[in-house]
Every structure is written in C-alpha cells, then in structure tokens.
Structure 1
Amino acid sequence: MAFEIARETSTFRYGMSNPEQLEQWLKDNPSAIGLSFVGRSNVGKSSTINTLFGNKIAKVSKTPGRTREINIFSFKLKNDGKIVEDLPEFYFYDLPGYGHAEVSKEMSKNWEILMTTFFQNISLHTLMVNIQDARHPNQKSDQEFHQFLKGFNFETFLLFNKIDKLKKQKERAALNKLKPVLSKEFKWVRQIYFTSAEKKDGIAQVEEAIISYLLRQRELLESM
C-alpha cells in the first residue's frame, strides 16, 4: 500500500462537551472528510485509535464511561513515505462510549444531546467505525446504537476488537457465524473486521480500508 496514515501529523484539535459549540464547529466544516470511532465503554476504542494514528493521543480512561466529550483530531496521509500536501487535512472523532451503567442520569442525558447533535450535523463524508468486544459482541447497547444509526446514511465499518482474547476455536467459530447475520441486519455496515489493537492483528487491513474511503470521498467532493 503506497498510501498510509502519517502518524506524526495526528494532532488533537478540540474537546467538546457543549452541544452548541459542537454544532457550530460542524456547521463551519460541512465538507470535512474523516471518520468517527464509537463503541461501548472498555472495548479498546482508545487503543485502536492509538494503534492506527500513533502518538498515544487518545487517552485510555481508568474509569470506563466517564469520558463525556467528543474529541476532534486532524491528520494527513503519506504516499511512499512522503506527506501528501495536495490532499486536505482529514479528521477523526473520538466519541464517548455508550452503554455504561455507572453514570448519572444528568451525564447520560448530556451524552444523548451531544451525540444527537453530532450525528445530525456531521459531514456526510464521515465514516462510522463501530468497535465491539469480540468476546461480547452485539450487546443490547450495541443493538440500540445501530437502531439509532439506522436513521442516518453513514457508511459504517464494524470492528470486533480483542480477537486475540478468544482462545478457543469454538468462540472464533461463533463470531464468524455472527458476521453474515449482522451484515443482513445492519445493512449500513459495509465491512466487518476482526482486530486486536494490542497485537495489531487486522489493523493494516483496517488502515487500508480507511484510506480507500478517504480518497474516495475526496474524489467525490472534487467532482461536485
């Protein structure tokens, strides 16, 4: 793969917990190309981001479910080892985890407002990357999130992370059987990957697919 993520360019831009502030930024950037990472608390979302984008820029929370803001980062691409200057700056968004029980009602309500603001106003040139724990896939909160996502028109990747934790062949076989079921149920999910952020299993394939998406969106915008 000639193109790759220029990890040294990954930069934290904003941390937003105020829905009005978030809405204004999204409206000011209607054609931003990028991707969003979202999943239940403690599925390895931050570790996946750090493996893909380097610099350990996504903080791994010691208390799952406590991160209640949307973090916005920018990055660029390389081609044959050189940063591609004639491509735009791309973005990725680290969304707060869903489905954590030990949060207050007030915190949960603000999460709903923030997430609704994000999905209603984010550029349509944004890939959704839903990360699930391979050991506990398709939990109730995952299903609820996908029902929420159903109302929008975003291309979506599904990553079953922590695949290295599945030691038994029977567990891996069960996960493989779930793949076509989810593809049928969640028609907006275009690609499904088995990954391990810790061991880097499957990460190269995910990076290649992300880059393909970004370049495709760039071509689409140029043709408009």
Structure 2
Amino acid sequence: MGYEIARGSAKFLYGIRDLGQLKQILKEKRDCAALSFIGRSNVGKSSLINALFGKGAARTSKTPGRTREINMFSFNLALDGTVDTSHEFYLFDLPGYGYANVSQQMSREWGVLMENFFQHSPPANGMVLLQDARHPMQKADLEFYKYFHRFSFNSSLVLNKLDKLKTQKDRSKLNKMKPAIYQENKWVQQIFFVSAEKRNGIDELHNSLVSQLLLHHTERGQE
C-alpha cells in the first residue's frame, strides 16, 4: 500500500482573517510541508478536499464567495494502513476568487490576505488549482493565473466534475487542451482530470500529492 493521506486525520486549526495572525502562523510553519486548494465558485473544491482527506474535512458556506478566511488544518499520512503521527502536514483551504457579488471591501481584503499568504507561505506548499472541466480557463482563472505565476510554487491544475462531460468528444476536446495549458502556464507541473463525486482520477491525484509531501519530508531529514 505504501503511504497515503490518513482519511479522517484532518483537524481544523484556524480560520484566518487577521493579517498579523496569518504572518505569525506562516513564520512558525516555514519549514513544514503543506497543500493549498484554491479555485472559482462551484468548481467542487470542498468535494475534492473531502474525497482526498475524508468526509467533513472541508468547511462550506451557503453563499458562494462569502467565505473570506483561510481555513487551516493539520493532517497525517498513513503507512500500510497505520497512521504515522510522528510528522504533521498542513492543509490550507483558500477563499475563492472571481466572485462578482462581493463588496469592493471584501475584494480588497481578499487581495491583501492572498498576497501575504503567497509571499510568506512555506516553500514546500503544493498549490492545487481547481477548475470546472465543463468551463476550463475562464476569464477569472486567467486573471488569477496572471497574478499567481510570479510566485514559485509547485502547482497542480485539477479540472473537476469530469463526470459532467457526457460525451467522449467533450472529454477528447478537453484532453487536447493540455499542451496549450502547459505552454501558457509554465508553473503548472501536472494536470489532472477528476470527478470528486464519482472518484474518477482521485487516486492518481492523491498519489501525486503524497509524493510531493514525502519528497519534502525526505529532503528535510537529510539536512
């Protein structure tokens, strides 16, 4: 079996909205390995987090765009079914972007919070960028990526809701977009097509994320 994310091990730590609190936490966790999830509204971010970490791991808001805080969790890996509690990893559930129905003040607060998160985040923070497979590369995505690309993070692009593409023609069209996405977004290391609801592609994504975490853990152990 090897290593895997220990389902149900995710523990909520903080809902971060205060800039001072954010900087202090990131300073304390500077040498830790983490995963961060971000995307537009209704791309299935909560469903994906729950599919990877266990049901109930993600917190949701009834009104898209109203969650303006960074939700931080700790979690563990398991080896051959046994939870390894000797090392903690961290999960950051980031507030989404591209909401039209939020106030200018909320938008500014999001910008300040995210700017500082990306600037002070641990180097070993793997970014998981989500999109809806039915509506890839929307204007809001492109605008965010234009901003995001200047930060040097190991990033995975995940197109969720693959099950909503009903024809093979639609799936083939999506797959043909891969070369252009890689070409235009050099910071994207891997692209995954998944369905969090049906669990299609989840194992492949899971294994890639675990490998990232273990690589950092091994490198830290050799220092």
TM-score, scaled to structure 2: 0.97
> In the alignment, what sits opposite 2:84?
84
Letter in 1 for 2:44: G
C-alpha separation between the residues in 2 aligned to 1:179 and 1:62? 33
Q: Which aligned segments of 4 or more residues in structure 1 are displaced greater than 4 angstroms?
A: none
1:52 is paired with a residue whose SS is helix
Look up the match of 2:59: 59
Q: Per-residue CA shift, 1:117-138, capped at 9, x if unaligned?
A: 1000010010000010000001
- What code does the residue aligned with 1:216 have? L
Matched residues in 2 for 1:33 and 1:174: separation? 35
Matched, 1:167 2:166: yes
Q: Report % sequence identity.
A: 51
Q: CA deviation at 1:220?
A: 1.6
- Aligned-pair CA distance for 1:170: 2.3
Question: Aligned-residue CA RMSD in angstroms?
Answer: 1.0
Matches of 2:102 and 2:85, distance apart in 1: 43
The residue identity in structure 1 corresponding to 2:29 is: N
The residue aligned with 2:155 is 156
TM-score (norm 1): 0.96
Identify the residue that residue 197 of structure 2 maps to in structure 1.
198
**Helix, strand or coil for the counterpart of 2:180?**
helix
Contact 1:72 1:93 (8 Å CA) reproduced: yes
Q: Is the 8 A contact 2:8 2:57 kept in 1?
A: no
Query: What SS does the aligned partner of 1:217 have?
Result: helix
The whole-number CA distance in structure 1 between the counterparts of 2:222 and 2:147 is 31
1:49 — aligned with what?
49
- Aligned residues of 1:10 and 1:55 also touching (Cα < 8 A): no
Q: Name the structure 2 match of 1:94.
A: 93
What count of residue pairs does the alignment treat as equivalent?
223
Match of 1:187 in 2: 186
Determine the C-alpha separation between the residues in 2 that align with 1:85 and 1:110.
36
SS at match of 1:109: helix
Inter-partner Cα distance in structure 2 for 1:165 and 1:85 = 38
Report deviation, 1:43.
0.4
Shift of 1:103: 0.4
Shift of residue 141 of structure 1?
1.1
In structure 2, stretches of 5+ residues that fail to align are none
- Tell me what 1:31 maps to: 31
Kindly indicate whether the alpha-carbon contact (under 8 Å) linking 1:65 and 1:96 is maintained by their aligned counterparts in 2. Answer: yes
**2:11 & 2:55 partners in 1: Cα distance?**
9
- Structure 1 gap segments, 5+ residues each: none
Aligned match of 1:7: 7
